[in-house]
Structure 1
Amino acid sequence: MFEVQRLGKVAYQPTWDEQKNMVRALDEGQIQDQLLLLEHPHTVTLGRGSHIHHLLLSTQDYQSKGIDVVEIDRGGDVTYHGPGQLVGYPIFYLDHQKHDAHSYLRDLEQAIILALSSFGITAGRMEQHTGVWVNEEKVAAIGVKFHKARHKKGYITSHGFALNVNTDLRYFSTIVPCGITDYGVTSMSRILGKEVEMDEVVVEVESAMKQVFT
């Protein structure tokens, strides 16, 4: 079982630093698995597979809009984080004999699909694109890093998922989200036609993660 930390609204860089600390602590047996649930201020992140032309504004334009741009060590391309989006960072130990990278990504997708179903939203997967989709629009992005454990066999995860709850989708127009040009993005509030209580989403996501990862 994992411990859940509900952090509220926190800046990106300190949270990334804390993930690194937790990966080390979990590897050394100082803590149990952790799930961080939070919101970030306006931030664009560039994963290891990012292409610079997927940033559609200049550095000065991002600054003028109050958007931080951060190069990070997860897989994947460019994505956006911001208010009204629930971000989850699982710091989990994966025994390589029981849980490989592919199945971990599918389980993250499944947890989000389960959580969305509790709000009456039918979501699913798209074979060629990691994430969770509703009618060919992405409602949740997933990008992770697998750290090879030093003190035991297997891997430890960091980074995770970003679920658009009440996200201002106009910010996605400043990037090519995940490098995908053929499909759009959506949010729970757009699908349901009303604002969604973030606390309720946190509860359902936490519950779904426990169902899938227990």
Structure 2
Amino acid sequence: MAPSPINSWPTFGTRWKSAPADERGSRVHADQGPTETAAPGFHRPPLVVRSLGVVPYEVALNRQRQLVKARQADETPDHLLLLEHPAVITIGVRGRAHPQHLLASRAELREVGIDVHDVARGGDVTYHGPGQIVGYPVVSLKPDRCDVRRYVTDLEEILIRTAASFGVEAGRVAGLTGVWVGNDKLAAIGVRVSRWVTSHGFALNVATDLDHFRFIVPCGLEGRGVTSLERLLGIPLSQTEVEAAVASEFASVFGRRVV
């Protein structure tokens, strides 16, 4: 099935305005999307944030490809896709060199309802599933952000700020990618950049079933664990509210205005 046209995808504002008032909180205005703190008169390029709900991995991958092609041709502005996946394990470029990081056979994983995909992003092996916010930024890094390491650091900063907005002190670990709380990874990052347009992105554990990480060596790192915002806080969180925080921090770090 061909991907649906980009302009038919739901926008962030649509889902946000339909959320119950007690899920919206004060972080984002329901009629405007994430609040902005730019100085008056400072021009911010547009960022379209689309909240897509639960999307099968292959469908999301096809949508990214469609959007990357359009962004490279300057036919569409920058986008941030926010969604959840059904249970899936993805293996990046580095992971294919280390098959031992997948701790069960693909047949065994299919039996428990987990698909496996080899993908053209950086990084090793990771798990996606319900309760996790997956972010796929499709943004142009030109003209002044053409630095992949800086881009990854910016994604980490967005997720660190998001965690802090819910009272969780997260940070970086020297020499490692992602966002950490102590020895445990809270968010994973794996990106692809083609002609300075980004794809793939990050996964933030909000209410993820962490037991599914037993099938992999997360990100190929022995001796480290995984955690989630709900595990750290001990209370349930609104997925919609966390998405709003991610979108707001993304716009702030990248100097964009959400449209």
Q: Bin the TM-score by the shorter chain.
A: over 0.9
Given that 2:145 and 2:151 are in contact with CA atoms closer than 8 Å, whether structure 1 keeps it comes out as no
Deviations 1:151-189 (A, max 9, x none): xxxx00000000000000000000000000121110001
Aligned to 1:55: 102
Aligned to 1:45, what secondary structure does the other structure show? strand
1:42 to 87, 93, 114: 87
> What's 1:151 paired with?
none
2:149 to 81, 96, 102: 102
Structure 2: unaligned runs, 5 residues or longer: 1-45
Alignment of 1:14-53 (within 5 A): 14-50=59-95, 51-53=98-100
RMSD: 0.9
**Cα deviation code 1:8-47 (max 9, x no counterpart):** 0010001101101111001111100000000000000000
| 1:177 aligns to 2:218 (yes or no) | yes
Q: 3-state SS of the aligned residue for 1:181?
A: coil
SS in 2 for 1:127: coil
TM-score normalised over the length of structure 1: 0.95
Question: Higher strand proportion, which one?
Answer: 1
Deviation by residue 1:110-134 (Cα, 9 ceiling, x = unmatched): 0011111110000100111100001
* Mapped partners of 1:143, 1:98: distance in 2: 18
Distance 2:145 2:123 in 1: 24
Alignment size in residue pairs: 208
SS of corresponding position for 1:111: helix
User: What amino acid does structure 2 have at the position aligned with 1:100?
Assistant: D
- Which moves more between the two structures, 164-173 or 52-61? 52-61
Which range moved further: 95-104 or 110-119? Answer: 95-104
Shift of 1:96: 5.6
**Matched AA of 2:200:** H
User: What is the TM-score with the length of structure 2 in the denominator?
Assistant: 0.79
Q: Match of 1:71?
A: 118
Rg (Cα) greater in structure = 2
